[in-house]
Amino acid sequence: LLMACFSVAGVQLARAPERQREIGVRVALGASRGRILRQLVTEGVLLAALSGAAALILSAWTADLLSAFSLPSPIPQRLHIVLDGPLIRFTLILVAIAGVTPALIPALQATRVDILHVIRRQSVIGAGPSRTRNAFVVAQVAGSTLFLAAALLFLRSFFNSAAFGPGFDTPHAWRFVAARWI
């Protein structure tokens, strides 16, 4: 979800120069800065809410899928993943941040420009580089690298634990545990 938020933020920041002309026309027609900010933030929150809902649906589906498989380790294990309150609250916080922040930055930038200059400009193709857009791209690449490294470390730890001999007969260990609990 976090990487999807960075992707959506990057897309919104890339579209910001294209929308400057539209915002310039709205300001010229009398729209207040607050109204433009509300519109762009509403668009961002709606997009983030749809993305968050899709992420929760996808995580619920993959949780059921992952819990159907057992890990190939000496001691049979099943993953039990549930969508609980803290996970949903965390998703809602990320949705709020991902909806407001990427929409607010371009909106503030767009409402501060010279209206006459924006309206007269014919094309925004090849617009100048944006520090904010570059920062989001750097954050996206850094986050992807971090998540890839973490996934590789988890995979390595899993293979190390699967190759480890615990010192007892693991295929029949569940019988001892079951007899102990009954």
Q: Burial code of 53-86, b = ≥16 C-beta within 10 A, e = fewer?
A: eebbeebeeebeeeeeeeeeebeeeeeeeeeeee
* 39-78 tens-digit pLDDT: 888 888 888 888 888 888 888 888 777 776 666 666 666 6
Q: Give the amino acid at 6.
A: F
- Structural tokens at position 118: 């924006």
Q: At 52, is the secondary structure helix, strand, or coil? A: helix
State pLDDT tens for residues 20-35: 777 777 877 888 888 8
Which residue has better confidence, 167 or 158?
Answer: 158
Q: Where are the beta strands (DSSP E) in the chain?
A: 70-71, 77-78
Q: What pTM was estimated for this model as a whole? A: 0.61
